[in-house]
Structures are given as structure tokens and as C-alpha cells.
Amino acid sequence: MINVTKTFLPPQEEYNAILKQAWDSHWLTNRGVLVQELEAKLKTYLGVSNVLATANGTLPLQIAIKALGLTGEIITTPFSYVATTSSIVWEGCTPIFVDVHPEYLTIDDTKIEAAITSKTSAILATHVFGNPCDVEAIEAIAKKHHLKVIYDAAHCFGVTYKGQSIFNYGDVSTCSFHATKLFHTGEGGALFCKDEQLYNTFFYHHNFGHKGKEDFQGLGINAKMSELQAAMGLAVLPYMESVLEGRRQAVTYYNSALKGDFIKTLKLRDCTQWNYSYYPVIFNNETQLLKVVKSALEKNNIYSRRYFYPALNNLPYLKETSCPVSESISRKILCLPLYDSLLLDEVDEICKLIKKSL
């Protein structure tokens, strides 16, 4: 059986050796030495000034909306995982959907200004499958209209744009360290920002509002990463180059074997150093995806994923709006199996089944 993804697990003895520090100290949470070590190592590895490790990848979005004092409407993308939109709604704001670019699959920056109203407080955009938004265009729009910018960069670990970490763009960037991601802590995430004062606000928001043991700086929730999670991250991080190389080889093979007009692949933005996080393919129509390709793969115990489906502007708890590009793409897109240990013979089998079925 070939699944759409497979979690990279470091040697268990290495994880246990790191975890033993927490075991010996009986310090399992509340920002122990392992969480602090992981944040320090991630700052160096990623080339960022501030990292705040969290219990999952959704909490940073919610904290960012709260800490920035956002109200009213937030412009966002309909083509993302549901957490992007649900975080906006959860924090009492209204998502305003702007359709996506048909090739990059990120928010179409040329359509953002038309969606801005007197109630707009921010833009929350997703770097889809690790492919950056047009960050310069979005920054210009935000400055012109005095808006905050949050990037959902859940897929972007290790991605650089124009020579620097994609996490350095916007007022805030967030990332997921879920077990399905190329870097993971089992479950977890992080928040990134360059502004020190804003980082301090995020910090107390993620720790109940604490300022020291017996004082409170302001409102907060519990978003802290545990030492158990941090130990996994510290065990995984040294293997990142081999994880990326395994994924790169699989993607290179896919690109070569699936050349042609019968499917489309993701167009990466210029000046991007990508992380090979997903391999999405876009078919001609939904019938071709479901009844031909997906069915043929599953008959051979190969499991892909419709990601992202459905388009978020069709969520049942929202008033429906029209985003024809996103709606069309979401019906026709399929993520093929991709992970570091995927064998090239397995990639070859997948490609042959797809071409034969079409």
C-alpha cells in the first residue's frame, strides 16, 4: 500500500535520548529546556529573528488575529485548509473571499483591492503547497490601505523567496508542524514575526497572559508546545536535508514522467526555493479525477488526496460567495503520494497507472 504521505520518524533511540532530559527533570511542559532549544535551533536553521513554538498550527492563526486587534472583515483565500477560514470566524471576524490565480493557486492579488471596504482590517493569505503569494503586491496594497498581513505558511518549512525565509514576510507568518508535514513535532506549529514588541504580545497571549509566575500582562490562552513535542522536533531537524532530498527526487521523477497536456502541475513563483511539500496535479474535470485516475490508483492500493476540497467559500456556516477559479480547481486537483522514503519504482508505478487510465 502507498499512502499519500508517510511521517518521517527519526531513530527511536535518538528521540528517547533527547526526551530523557525532560524525563529526568520531570519538566514536561510550560516552556522547558527542549522547547527553548528547538526555538533557538529553528531560528538559526530558518534564518528568522523570532520563533514561538505552539501546540498546533491553528492556534498561531487565532493568536495573530487576536493580538493584532483585528475586527470586521478579513480578506482571505477560498483555496486553503479549513483552519485558515475557521480561525477568522472563531475570532469573531468575517472572511471575505478573493479568488485564486489559476496557475500559482495563491490569492489573486489583482482582485484584492476590489474587495476592500471600510470594514476591512487585514489580509490573511495562504502560501499554497509552499508556493509563495505575490508578497510584494500584497505588501503594497496593505500599506496603501493600512491593513495588517498574516500569512498562513503551514506548508512552508524551509521555503525561501528572493533569498530569505518566506516566514519573514507580512506582519505575522504561521506554520504547522503536524505529523503530515515534512518537518514535524508530531502535532505542533509556530508563529513568526520580526517586530519585537509584537512578538512579546504573542508570547503572553500563548501563555495565559502571564508576566512572570504571579503577574498577568493581558488576556491569553494555552498554546504552549510540550517537551514531548519539542523532543520530536529536535530529533527530526538533523535529518531535514535527507528528507528534502528524498522528496526532491520523487518530484523530479513525477515532473519527467507526467510531462504533457493531459494534466497540469503547480506553477512555482519565480525566485522561490521550494520545499517539495506536496505534488498536486490538476485534471481536465472532476469525472476524470474521481472515476478514472483516483479509482485506478485505489484499485492498486495507492491512495491520493483531494486537497483542497471543497472550496472554503462553500463552507456550510458561511454565506456562499462565488469564486469560480477556486471552485473549479478544488474539484479537479489531486495530491499524489509524496514523502522522503517513496521509492522511484513506486513513483513510476503511479505515473504509469495515471497515463494508462487517461
Supply the pLDDT for residue 134.
Answer: 98
Cα(331)–Cα(259) distance, integer angstroms: 21
CA atoms within 13 A on the CB side of 96: 18
State the DSSP code for 131: P
Integer Cα distance of 182 and 108 in angstroms:
27
**Which pLDDT does position 211 carry in this prediction?**
77
**pTM of this prediction?**
0.96
Q: Angle at CA 203, nearest 5°, toward 199 and 207?
A: 170
pLDDT (tens place) for every residue of the chain, 358 residues total: 999 999 999 999 999 999 999 999 999 999 999 999 999 999 999 999 999 999 999 999 999 999 999 999 999 999 999 999 999 999 999 999 999 999 999 999 999 999 999 999 999 999 999 999 999 999 999 999 999 999 999 999 999 999 999 999 999 999 999 999 999 999 999 999 999 999 999 999 999 988 777 777 888 999 999 999 999 999 999 999 999 999 999 999 999 999 887 889 999 999 999 999 999 999 999 999 988 899 999 999 999 999 999 999 999 999 989 999 999 999 999 999 999 999 999 999 999 999 999 8
Residue 49: CA count within 13 A, CB half-sphere = 12
* Per-residue model confidence (pLDDT) at position 221: 94
What is the distance between the alpha carbons of residues 347 and 253, in angstroms, rounded to a whole number?
A: 7
Give the position of cell 483585528: 70
Q: Using DSSP, state whether 133 is helix, strand or coil.
A: coil
What domains can be seen in the chain, in order of their start residue? Answer: 12-98+105-238 (3.40.640.10), 239-357 (3.90.1150.10)
Q: What is the pLDDT of residue 209?
A: 83
Q: Which three cell numbers stand for residue 150?
A: 498574516
Q: What is the pLDDT of residue 259?
A: 87
Asked whether 336 and 279 are in contact (CB, 8 A), the reply is yes
DSSP string, 36-57: HHHHHHHHHHHT-S-EEEESSS
